Amino acid sequence: MALLKMVQVAAAAAMIAGVSVPAHAQQALTVEAVVAGCASGSDCAALVNSYLASVPAARRVAAIANLGARLAEIPGAGANVARGIQAAAAYSPDAGQRAQLASLASTLSADAGGLDIETAASES
């Protein structure tokens, strides 16, 4: 299972870098791979766009809700993840969902990323 996730993250990173990835690897992009890529500092908006482009319209609202929630759980998310959430909002056909995602992205972009960890370390 871990090997599959590593392959998915590598495929996502290669797609972002502009490297040609085999079609079967591109289809393997999952929510887990997007979250892992965003958490590692890869271009979150590009990962989100790649993932959501393959989600059928009928499932898009649910997929965006799941993805947004998972991205928001990344510790010290910051501006990169906020851009990913903004990209997800752009795919949503639901105005209410777009507004919620915009608010979440605004909150995350104001986060300096890792501030809680630094504060906790300085209090020790």
Residue-wise pLDDT for 74-88, tens only, equals 998 889 999 999 999
pLDDT of 65 strictly over 90: yes
Give the largest CA-CA distance in the chain: 50
Convert 71-102 to b/e letters by CB count within 10 Å (16 or more is b). bbebeebbebbbbbbbbbbebbeeeebbebbe
Amino acid 121: pLDDT: 41
Task: Assign 111 a pLDDT band (cuts: 50, 70, 90).
Answer: low
| Averaged confidence pLDDT in the chain | 77
